[in-house]
Structures are given as structure tokens and as C-alpha cells.
Amino acid sequence: MSGRVLIVGDEPNIVLSLEFLLSRAGCEVTTAADGEAALDAIAAAPPDVVLLDVNMPKLDGFQVCERIRANPAWHAVRILILTARGRDIEREKGLALGADGYVTKPFATREVVTKVRELLAAGGAD
């Protein structure tokens, strides 16, 4: 599979591992450490999938999601949110704000890779 994936998160360990695994799977991976950097990166070069950690300081994942969806130019960007708290309402909130999928931490990386693959496929069909 190929596609551009942006990983946004403030826990370097997770970001590192995910970057490694997704690159191995054939994606072109970029990372951002917080919400603002993420929006800048998207503005510069919109990715196909954004992996968005919810818990970030300043601009949290939900707000980034909201802003991506607010921009019609980024309509094709698929958003996968990573929730730290497995509460169903966080999932719902994300979906209500326009996310395309979610993963709960701790997750099996294979799961993430599979979901990214699905989103890329769906994006292509658009």
C-alpha cells in the first residue's frame, strides 16, 4: 500500500514506533508533535490519512479534527483518532466531529496498520 500518512502526537515513543511500522508497510510518513504543527504540515502538503492523538496540550486532537473538517480543501483527508481513554463517548465525539475511525490505546499496531490501509483504500475510491 502507499499513501501519505501524517502522525500527530505528543508521546514520542508511540510516534516513533508508529512511524517505523507504517514506513515498513509502505507509507510515506511524516510526523508532528502538536496540533499547530499538524495544521501547518497539512496546509503545506495535505496527507491521505492523519493519525491524530486526542490528548495533546494547547490544541487537542478534537479541535484539530474539527479544523481539518472545516476546510473544504481538505475534504479528502481521512482522520483516524487515537484515544487514550477507552470511553465510548470520546469515540462518539470524534466521529461527530468528522473523524473516519478510531483506535483505543493500548492498541495492537497491526490493528492500526490495517485501519490505515482501509482508510487509504476508501480514500482512493472517492
Partner 1 sequence: MLIRARRAVWLVFAALVAAILGALAAAGVWLAPHLAAGDLTVAVSGGLGLLGMILIGALALTWVWLDRVLVRPLAAASRGARIIARGRTAHRIEVPDGHLLGDLPDALHGLGEVLHEARSNVERAVADGAARSEQQKAQLEAVLRELSEGVVVCERHGHILLYNPAAQAILGSDPGPGLGRSLYALIRREPIEHALAALTEQQAAAPQADAAMSFVVPGVAGEGLLRCRMRVLSVGPEGHPGFVLALADDTRQVRALHQRDALLRQLVDGLRGPLASLRAAAEALGECGPDEGPQRGAFEAVVEEESRVLSERLERVAQDARGLLGGGGLRAEVAAGVLAAAVARRLDARHPAVRFGLHGSGLWIDGDAHGLALLVEHLAARIAAARGVERIEMETLLGDRRVYLDLSWEGEPVAGAQLDAWLAEGIPAAGPGVTARDIIAEHSGEAWSQRHRHAGRALVRIPLPASSRQWDLAPSAALPARPEFYDFSLAAQWQAARGDSGLVNRELRALEYVVFDTETTGLRPSQGDRMISIAGVRVVNGRLLRGDHFSALINPGRPIPALSTRFHGITDAQVSDAPMAPEVVARFKTFVGEAVLVAHNAAFDMKFLRLQERAAGVVFTNPVLDTLLLSVLLHDHASDHTLDGIARRLAIEVHDRHTALGDALVTAAVFLAQLPLLEERAIANTLGEALAASEQVLDVRRMQAQF
Taking CB under 8 A as the binding criterion, the range among 13-21, 40-48, 59-67, 116-124 that sits at the site for partner 1 is 59-67
* By CB under 8 A, residue 88 contacts partner 1: yes
Q: How far is the CB of 98 from partner 1 (least distance, A)?
A: 9
- Which one of 13, 44, 57, 108 is in contact with partner 1 (CB under 8 A)? 108
CB-based contacts of 117, cutoff 8 Å, min separation 6: 1, 25
* CA 9 – CA 84 distance, rounded (Å): 11
Binding residue (CB under 8 A) for partner 1 from 11, 55, 93, 117: 93
Question: Between the CA atoms of 68, 74, 79 and 83, what dihedral angle is there, to the nearest 10 degrees?
Answer: -10
CA distance 99 to 93: 9
State the residues that interact with partner 1 by CB under 8 A.
59-60, 62-63, 66, 86-90, 92-93, 96-97, 106, 108
